[in-house]
Each structure stands twice: as structure tokens, then as C-alpha cells.
Amino acid sequence: MINRRSLLLRAMALGAAAPLGGCNYEDPAHPDLADKFLHAMSAWNDRVQAALFDPHTLAPTFRADQITSPPRFNAFYGIDQVPVVDETTYKLELGGQIQNKAPWSLQQLRALPQESQITRFVCVEGWRVIGQWSGVKLSDFLRHVGADTTCKYVSFKCADGYYSSIDMASALQPQTILALDFLGQPLTAPFGAPVRLRIPTKLGFKNPKSIMYLAATNVYPGGYWEDQGYNWFSGS
């Protein structure tokens, strides 16, 4: 109680004078007291969001004329630094609790039933764009490869060093897809070629691009931004 009180007093002081030290959530490896408090609250919010999550509630869909044009590029680096994956040799590697871990080529992924959606992409910063994506339902894919869908997490590793993870319930939601196409064309490098996750029930940073590795696991995989302080569940 005393800790919380002092934290709140610090919060008040910071509200008046932001550039004071501490409370900045800036060094995840060396959390101070405020960081630990925020982390505990974020973990609590993960649980609340998992309880709020209804697998039958669909993210809103939009008309073709509502699609944002031109599309908005966003990453933790500039558009000139986007990695280009060779699509002819590309293989999606599988790991964790999956029965058939044989890697998947693009042709194999395209041979599975494709699902199209026009949905809203909401960035953690607050802006939103509407786009059209199509690809393989993640739930279909996970069942196809014999993934243990009782696992807590599905984790992703990307060609650009990015990584992220989602809860299994959200992974199995019917609008969660491994997208291969964007705006009716194969994905381009800035928008996550050759395969990206499109999950309209979560914030934008939970939609990793250029996925090279996918796993089902019970070991918390974290994520690039999540490990720096963004809320892990980040459901919409």
C-alpha cells in the first residue's frame, strides 16, 4: 500500500514535470518500482482482455470504396531498409508443438483455401487504415499441420528480426489469416511479403510481416514491442 501510494505520488510529480527520471518504462532489463507496477497492471489487463475476448465477435468489415489509398507503410525502420525475401526459395519454418513440421512453400500455402477480408488496421499510436487482405485462415493452417491448439501461444519470427506472439483463442478466430495478398495483389516487401499475419481483432503491431517461423507453444514468447512495454494482448 505504501509502495502504491509512493508510486502514485511519483505519478503526480511526473504529471507536473515529465522529464524527471524513472517511470519511463525505458529499460526493460532494469525495471524500477514504477516499471514493476506498470508491468503487473499490464499482465492484469492481459487477463481482463482474454476474458473479454469473444471468438464469435467479428471485427467490422468495410466496402471496397472505403479502402485507404495509398496504403500506409509502418515499421520500426524506414521503407528503404525493408528486407526482401526471395519468394522462390521461401519456406515457412514450423516449430513448437506441431506434429508435421515440414516447412511450407508459397505454392503450398496458396493451394489451401483462401479467405479475403476488408478490415480496419488500428495502430497502437491511434491512427487507422482500411485494407483488403487475403490468405489462409490461421485456424485451418494450424489444424492442417497438427498444431496443438490447446497451447497458450502462437509465436512468429520475421525476416527483419521482428517477432511477436498471440493467444491461441485469437489465433483461432475466423478472421485471423496468414495473408499472402494485399489489395488484390501478392504482398510487396514493405507490406510484409511473402507472408504476414493479419489479425483484425488486435492492434497493428500484433500483425507481424515477412514471417519466417511459426510455432505453437506454452512458453511465453513475448514480442519486439511487447518486451519494451507495449501491452502483450493488445486486443481491439
By the rule CB under 8 A, 229 interacts with other proteins? yes
Among 11, 64, 84, 111, binds other proteins (CB under 8 A): 11
CA-based nearest residue to 207, from 222, 228, 192, 218: 192
Helix axes 33-52, 2-16, angle to 10 degrees: 100
Work out how close the CB of 23 gets to other proteins at its nearest, in angstroms, rounded to a whole number: 7
Q: Which is nearer to other proteins, 213 or 230 (CB)?
A: 230
- How distant, in Å, are the alpha carbons of 56, 82, 192, 199, 216 from that of 169? 11, 31, 23, 12, 12
Q: How far apart are CA 183 and CA 133, in angstroms?
A: 6
Q: Grid coordinates in use for 162? A: 521482428
Query: With contacts defined by CB under 8 A, how many residues of the chain interact with other proteins?
Result: 44
Cell 510484409 -> residue: 192
Does 74 sit near other proteins (CB under 8 A)?
no
Residue of the chain from 33, 67, 112, 123 that contacts other proteins (CB under 8 A): 123
Considering the complex, state which of residue 66 and residue 218 has its C-beta at the smaller distance from other proteins.
66
Dist. CA 33–CA 31, nearest whole Å = 7
13-52 binders of other proteins (CB under 8 A):
14-19, 23-26, 37-39, 41-42, 45, 49, 52
Q: Which is nearer to other proteins, 146 or 229 (CB)?
A: 229
Q: Does 62 engage in binding with other proteins (CB under 8 A)? A: no
Least separation in angstroms between residue 60's CB and other proteins is 7
Regarding 79 and contact with other proteins (CB under 8 A), the answer is no
Q: What is the DSSP letter of 98?
A: B
Binding of residue 129 to other proteins (CB under 8 A): no
Q: Give the torsion sign (CA, 57, 122, 46, 92).
A: positive
- Nine-digit cell at 153? 501461444
Query: Does the protein bind other proteins through residue 165 (CB under 8 A)?
Result: no
Q: How far apart are CA 226 and CA 45, in angstroms?
A: 13
The residues binding other proteins (CB under 8 A) are 8, 11-12, 14-19, 23-26, 37-39, 41-42, 45, 49, 52-54, 57-60, 120, 122-128, 200-201, 225, 228-231, 235-236
